[in-house]
Amino acid sequence: MRKSIPKTMVVLGYRILIEKSSPKEIEEETGKRHDAFWLSLLEGMSQFAGRIMIDKSISRFKQWRALWHEVEHAITDISDWDLDKRQMEEEIEGLCLDCGKNRAKEAKGEV
Ligand SMILES: [Zn+2]
């Protein structure tokens, strides 16, 4: 039996919150159905660096698969956190093929 999803996780020394949510809750947050998504809270006042919501209705295997995918986004955001923002806008070219997230556009505030 695969281990259940943890409630929090430490990524690069930052604690992130992991919430198992209904498909409806995820759709309300993102406007679409997703197995999971990552929301950075680095700019805010939260004690957490960010939050990952995971669809609790999918299989545990899919929950873990979705979690690792979102942890990759968390690693990218947290590691960017310490870099010079202007340099980041010029140099980031990453694109997530699964969710279509373009990091260069995101850094410029275009998405
Ligand atoms: Zn993605």
In this predicted model, what pLDDT tens digit does every residue of 2-56 receive, in sequence order?
789 999 999 988 999 999 999 999 999 888 889 999 999 988 889 999 999 999 9
**Ligand 1 mean position to 87 CA, how many Å?**
23
**Structure-block tokens of residue 30:** 């993102």
**pTM for the complete prediction?**
0.74
| pLDDT reported for residue 95 | 60
Nearest CA-CA partner of 67 in 80, 81, 51, 79: 51
Domain spans in the chain, listed from the N-terminal domain onward: 8-83
Distance 47 CA to ligand 1 centre (A): 23
Q: How far is the CA of 34 from the centre of ligand 1 (A)?
A: 10
**99 CA from centroid of ligand 1 (Å):** 4
Structural tokens at position 36? 């999971």
pLDDT tens for each residue of 15-29: 999 999 999 999 998
With 0-12 / 13-18 / 19 or more C-beta atoms within 10 angstroms meaning exposed / middle / buried, residue 97 is exposed
The predicted structure's pLDDT at residue 11: 93
Q: CA–CA separation, 65 vs 72, rounded Å?
A: 11
